[in-house]
Amino acid sequence: MTETPYRTLLLDVSDSVALITLNRPEQLNAFTPRMGLELGHAFTTLDRSEEVRAIVVTGAGRAFCSGAALDREASSFRADPGEEAVIDSAGEAVIGPPISDIAPWTMATPVLAAINGNAVGLGLTYPLQWDIRIAAETARMAFVFTRRGMIPEGNSLWLLSRAVGASRAAELLFTGRTFTGKEACEMGLVSRAVPEGEVVDATLDLAREIAANTSPAALATTKRLFYEQLASSDRTRSREIERSTFKWLLSEPDAAEGIVAFLERRAPSWQTSKHLAPPAEP
């Protein structure tokens, strides 16, 4: 594992893929304010790196994340001011914003969840914000908020119905019931459900496929437009944006390289940054 300043995460970067492991296995990776700060810092740092083409997040031990670390004072969601400073590898103090302030859907880098075990509450709403989810067939999942006297958070009230449909979302959110990774796949909440021991490898394989074969600029632009159009109700305007963006990317070096590499039956050598900015709209 790569040396990091983090106390609650492990980080490894290989083949242009970053693997982040939530690392509180004795507590079933229960989420703390510190973990939120560190995960936000890791996401920000990895997204800035041109070398990182995909990010995979999983959990150490038998759980993915059992939700917020609870106490009788209900202070789980209140950050300790002493935990706001995260020390980077150079020994400098940096501020790691909570992941909720990072907006993963605005990142240029795709984020994949390898849900290797139980994912409950916040441990499920966070990966719901990410791009692709693969789960263990036997993983137990639940949006337990109403059973704890709270409302579902993490943007789940907006996201879940778009993932599984209004009726199923209402059932899951209103009841807080437990369901399996296999059922989550059948509903469309995760894209695949695989045997428990294969989750991380399956997710890393998919991340490596992305890293090896897709243009960083084209992927980042596709992700940006995907989420913008998910919230759009104007089909005609969406089509106009799609056409103008297609024309713009066609003039960038990666379009020519992608075609030539395909014709020459070789791996592409991409030149364009994943942070390539689109031209200003007229």
3-state SS, one letter per residue, for 105-163: HHCCCCEEEEECCEEECHHHHHHHCCCEEEEECCCEEECCHHHHCCCCCCCHHHHHHHH
Residue 58 has pLDDT above 50, yes or no: yes
Averaged pLDDT for residues 248-256? 95
Reported as a single tens digit per residue, the pLDDT across 2-26 is 667 899 999 999 999 999 999 999 9
Mean pLDDT score of the chain, rounded to an integer?
A: 90
Distance in angstroms (rounded) separating the CA atoms of residues 235 and 255: 26
pLDDT at 278: 87
**pLDDT the model gives residue 280:** 75
Range in 13-17, 27-31, 199-203, 275-279 with the lowest mean pLDDT: 275-279
- Residue 255 CA, chain-centre distance (Å), reads 27
Give the start-end residues of each E strand in the chain. Answer: 9-14, 17-22, 54-59, 63-65, 85-87, 93-95, 111-115, 118-120, 132-136, 140-142, 178-180, 192-194
Nearest residue to 121 (alpha-carbon basis) of 151, 142, 150, 100: 142
**Average pLDDT of the residues in 176-205:** 98
- The answer on pLDDT for 214 being more than 60 is yes
Specify whether the CB–CB gap between 121 and 68 falls below 8 A: yes
Question: Residue 257 and residue 172: Cα distance in Å, rounded?
Answer: 46
Q: What percent of the chain has pLDDT over 90?
A: 84
54 in Cβ contact with 211 (< 8 Å): yes
Return the half-sphere exposure (C-beta side, CA atoms, 13 A cut-off) of residue 76: 15
Q: What angle do CA 109, 113, 117 make, to 5 degrees?
A: 165
Q: 280: which DSSP letter?
A: P
On the 0-12 / 13-18 / 19+ scale of CB atoms within 10 A, 174 is exposed
- For residues 75 and 241, the model is more confident at 241
Residue 176 contacts residue 145 (beta carbons within 8 Å): yes
User: What gap in Å lies between CA 201 and CA 19, rounded to an integer?
Assistant: 11
Residue percentage of the chain with pLDDT more than 70: 87
Q: What is the pLDDT of residue 149?
A: 95
List the Cα angle 127/133/135 in 5-degree steps: 105
Q: Are strands 17-22 and 9-14 parallel, antiparallel or unpaired?
A: antiparallel
**Which structure tokens are listed for 96?**
């790691």
